[in-house]
Amino acid sequence: MTDRYAVFGNPVSHSKSPRIHALFARQTGEDMSYEALLAPTDGFVAAARAFASAGGRGANVTVPFKEEAWRLADRRSPRAEVAGAVNTLEFGPDGIFGDNTDGAGLVRDLKSNLGCDVAGRRVLLLGAGGAARGVVLPLLLEGPEELFIANRSAEKAARLAVEFARLPGCALPVKPQGGGFGELAGASYDLIINATSAGLQDARLPLPLGIFAAGSLAYEMLYGRDTPFMAQARAVGARVADGLGMLVEQAAEAFFVWRGKRPETGPVIAALRQP
């Protein structure tokens, strides 16, 4: 029987995940279906449980349900545990397993698709919301020279940095720092990752001149639109990438959790970039 998977979100009709997983399934010969399911904002848990009871094998979870998915899981991977958010659920006889593949997706996109190693680089992470939270540990584990988290609400970034600097049982090679955009004056970074949602509102981030070091990569987690952050970076000659590769890589990581197979992501990214 065909194994059923889904992505839950609200809204969800725009999601590219059904197309991505259909391409993965075709490529690997897996007998599975994958659909986008709209859950009411106050009805995610009921919807996910109903899907599992009807034979669903697993699900992705997107905005705004990742924290609820974390609470729903009976067991969590260490990376989901520290992220405080789950984007991948697996329904099995031992209950619900929760994972977070966003950070692994970002790191794989940076390293494998964009040829940008994090090790030894000065890294600036913009934003302190769910997406930023999910990528802090995977970035730190790569061994950057430094990681600064800057956010509009400065205290949120400072709190996030302290939390990850004090992670129990984890001897990290570098401790992150955090604060407001005002603290960036005079600094420059090799890799700047925009994990804010400012681009959705076409809002320009207050980044000081000189923040993009020579040869730096500006990574915008949003995809499907050109944002003021990308324009700011391009104007000073930085290399620019959007988050489509991260989206496909986090999906590949979820596919691996469910099916134990790693699909080839390059052709899928190329297919999604076709107009």
Q: Give me the active site residues, please.
A: 66
Order of all β-strands in the sheet with 189-194: 177-179, 146-150, 122-126, 189-194, 212-220, 239-241
Q: Least CB distance from residue 169 to ligand NDP, whole Å? A: 26
Q: Least CB distance from residue 113 to ligand NDP, whole Å? A: 12
- Distance, in Å, from the CA atom of 271 to the CA atom of 108, rounded to the nearest integer, reads 18
Residue 7 in the binding site for ligand NDP (CB under 6 A): no
Q: With H, G, I as helix, E, B as strand and everything else as coil, classify residue 176.
A: coil
* CA angle (88 as vertex; 85, 94 as ends), nearest 5: 105
Given 19, 75, 152, 239, the residue binding ligand NDP (CB under 6 A): 152
Residues forming a β-bridge with 264: none
Residue 156 in the binding site for ligand NDP (CB under 6 A): yes
Given 205, 230, 238, 240, the residue binding ligand NDP (CB under 6 A): 205
Nearer to ligand NDP, 52 or 247 (CB): 247
- Distance, in Å, from the CA atom of 28 to the CA atom of 249, rounded to the nearest integer, reads 15
Task: Report 56-75 residues binding ligand NDP (CB under 6 A).
Answer: 63
Residues forming a β-bridge with 178: 149
Nearer to ligand NDP, 52 or 130 (CB): 130
Q: Least CB distance from residue 253 to ligand NDP, whole Å? A: 11
Stretch that binds ligand NDP, among 46-54, 136-144, 193-201, 211-219 (CB under 6 A): 193-201
Q: Give backbone dihedrals phi and psi of 6, rounded to 5 degrees, phi first.
A: -160, 165
Task: Report 81-120 residues binding ligand NDP (CB under 6 A).
Answer: 102
Residue type (1 letter), 122: R
**Tokens 């067991």 appear where?**
75
Site residues (CB under 6 A) for ligand NDP?
63, 102, 127-132, 151-153, 156, 195-198, 200-201, 203, 205, 221-223, 243, 246-247, 250
